[in-house]
Structure 1
Amino acid sequence: MKKIFSYALVLTLLLAILALPTVAEGTPTPKDEVVYGLLNADGSIQNMYVVNGFRDKNITDYGDYSYLQNMTSTEKLSQMGDKITIHSNSDTFYYEGILQTKELPWNISIHYMLDGKKMDAKDLAGKSGQLGLDISITQNQTVNSTFFKNYALQLAVTLDNKYCSDINAENATIVNAGSKKQVSYIVLPGNGAHIHIACKVNDFRMEPITINGIKLALHFSFDSVSFTDQLGELTAAIEQLDSGAGGLLDGIFQLKSGMGKYVDGVNKFTKALPALREGIKQVDSGTTELKNGLHALTQQNEPLVNGALALQKSTFDSVNAQLAPMHLPLLTPENYSQLLDNTPSFAAVKQQLDSMVQFTQGMIAYTSGVAELSNGAATLCEGTSKLAENMSPIITAVNGLYDAAVELNSAVKRLYDGLAQYKKGTLQLKNETDNIEEEIEKKIDEMRLEILGNPNEIISFVSEKNTNVNSVQFVLKTEEIKAVYVDRPELAQPVKLTFWQKLLKLFGLYP
């Protein structure tokens, strides 16, 4: 009977265990990682450990640790290879693990100079002179590049005013903290740094240099909707401008063809002296029409130039409005090339502005050419009229007429070539501004990613098996440079002897 009861009890317990909910074996528990690194004064790694934080009681974690320490309770951590497990009674649990491999995503190198000579940090304590501190930060190619590309570094060097003065640190933020000055730098994700700090020191000592690796959390507010309508109007105006330039080019082409024929006619005229009088009348009539036509054409010069300048101003205003959140200097036709020349991320914007400036300059050149042509036509007309009235210097006048016609024809050709370049510029401007809104949005997103890194890419520094990591932070500090004081033994004070003691010592009877 007892045996049957025992079997029934065992079966009941097995069924109860099988009925319990199960968790996939080996699934890593969500956690936060804080990587602590103690660096030597030269930046090399002395020791590294990680504090892992959990908000769970049944914990599974992974990491290659040489030593584990429960920081929350007395329960013992179980370590099987790189797998760490524990059941804790606390809602939040922390444990520390010393890493087997001591590698950081950054190579950090620190060098010290005193009065122009290299010195080890251990020899600097208590020294005086002109100190040079150089810190070099580069990517460690042996560590997953995700951390170098997406984490910023906050570096702080604290200098005591009692021991340090005349601090010179280019591109640093220097703040007063009581009797000390804190020299701070921020190294953006994906960037290295070469930092130089110089100061005068007296009886030198220095607190640890601290370096924190974090994900930047900066908010960029950019409202593209506010200027989308303006950009739409701009692109529509550019299309109209390109269409108008095409029509204008066709007209100038016809003028160019007409001028070619006109020059040929003048040439034939010089050879037809017997029929000169009749020819002069025809030329005079033609030049009068030409003068009137060009005069009418010059009436459009001012509106065309003003329109081009207004379009140029609108383009620069629009680009400046788009780039205002980046706090760049105000772009103008005079300074934009210098400001944007060495910035690849603004190449598309610079190309757009180049096209606009070229277009404006082409329009000014065109109107100048029209004015020049009109003046030449007026002069030509005056010459033909005088020629018709005065036939005596016929040979000289005819030759001068021909020369003027050749020059005028050359001017028309130059005008046509300039307008052809202008048309090419308007077409290029049209093509390059078709998707200007999308291009600007894309460039701003690229710049944001370049400055802040990818905020969504969070992986474990300790082990790729830890797939539920909420955050990773690096907290690094160097050794302190402090003066070493040597204890000196106290000198024994001479013992005062009495008269009888002195007497006994004289005969060797007193120790």
Structure 2
Amino acid sequence: MKKVWYGVITFILCGCLVTPQLVTSAKAPEEDELAALPPIPVEQTVLKDESVYLTLNADGSVKETIVVSRIEAEEAGSYTDYGTYSEIVNLSGSEEPALTDDAIVWNLPSYPEGFYYQGISTEGKAPYSIAISYKVDGKKVAAKDMGGKKGKVDMTIAITPNSDAEKYFKENFMCQVQVPLDLSMAQDVAAPGAMAKVITGKTATLAYMAMPGTKAEYSLSFRTESFSMGTIQISCSASDVSGILGSDMNTIENGVKQLISGQNQIINGTTQLKDGLGQLSGGLDQLSDGANLSAEGSAQLADGLEQYVGGVNQLSGGFEAISDLAEKLKCIVEKLSEMEQVQKVLDDINAILNNEKLQQILDELAAFDPESALPEELKCLAEKLNAIKLPEVDLSEIAGYTDPEKILELLDQVTQLNQLTSAGDMLVEGMNELNSGLDQLADGLDEVAGQTSKIPGQVQQLINGQVSIRDGMSQAMSIFERFMTEGTPKVVSFAAPGKIVPRSVQFIMATDAIN
């Protein structure tokens, strides 16, 4: 029995001694094959930067979008990137990627300076849309037809946030536009709103900017004999406000709040100024109307004074005639005063003539025919007696002027009337001057009222500008608050949002040149 166990043990031991050699002999060929295979690449962490190049038509519309990715590849290994491209080109070597859905796997050797490849993007939108339009002598001309045009050129660049872009790009990316202007081609250049103007040789580079999330529109005008335009460069990059302004954001926040408060006070004050100017304009209108009425009344008063002076002149003429009559009456009175005896004689003659007996004799004589009964002498006597009957003289009207003092008083009144006429003439002349002055005042007030009525509208434009400044400050305040609460936002990939986080993303756009 023991012999059997010894035999079994001996067989097992012998088998154990032989088996390793047999196994070794069996595995040797597999190890040779494995040694001949390339080593499996080590999966590496991808650190990358994205540069997005957009080629634009001359009017700013997009023709093609190319994404150039730079991957840190100091160590050899497998690098997995993501993106949706219609075509991929290795810019650093000859390696070909392995594509699985939107995954792009590169098995790379060491690239100490970084590995570059590009892809033509079929998805994704830039942060801004660019629209470039032209007018020549006031008429719209398509950008593609601008080459060689002559006249006054008005160029407009509209920068509009792209509503289809990722939120990260819309809220954090600013836009810079550089327009190269050939000074040998353009004259009388006007570029309001340009942030900078750099002249190099015969080229003036005009720089414009749009802040994150804001729309901007800029105009450029010049005269040319033959239009041409070089490539317009546009770049969009993240605005690092915290890096620009430093870490003391609380001080900045308080300062901006004070600016907003002060701007609100300015707006309120300007609004009150506008209201006051409106009241001033209304008052000037009323004053102008009153001046016009005063001028009309003054003209009527001047006419009335002229009529008054004319009447006074007529009255003066009448008084002068009376004065002449008074002078004559004065002489008559003087003569009559010397003829008191004559008056008595006349009275006696009248008394005799009024005697009834004498009248009877005269009547009989008148009825008697002297030719037949009386001699020639009697006839003559009768005629003379008839002639003796004188008419009665009525001196009652003259009696009132027998007093020389009254006549002198009348003459003095005539003198005063002449003085009144002279004063009336001076008054008419003064009223004419006053009327002329009132006319000028009315015209001046009309002009002032017309100009003043425009001021409230101009002040409203000022208010609108002040409101825009305040709104801009408020927008800046919201950006500061976002940075204070959220910090620097996480970078989002343009090529594959949510799949990979690049270190940086930038956009470079270039338009076609116009020749």
Q: TM-score, normalised by structure 1?
A: 0.48
Structure with greater helix percent: 2
Q: TM-score, normalised by structure 2?
A: 0.48
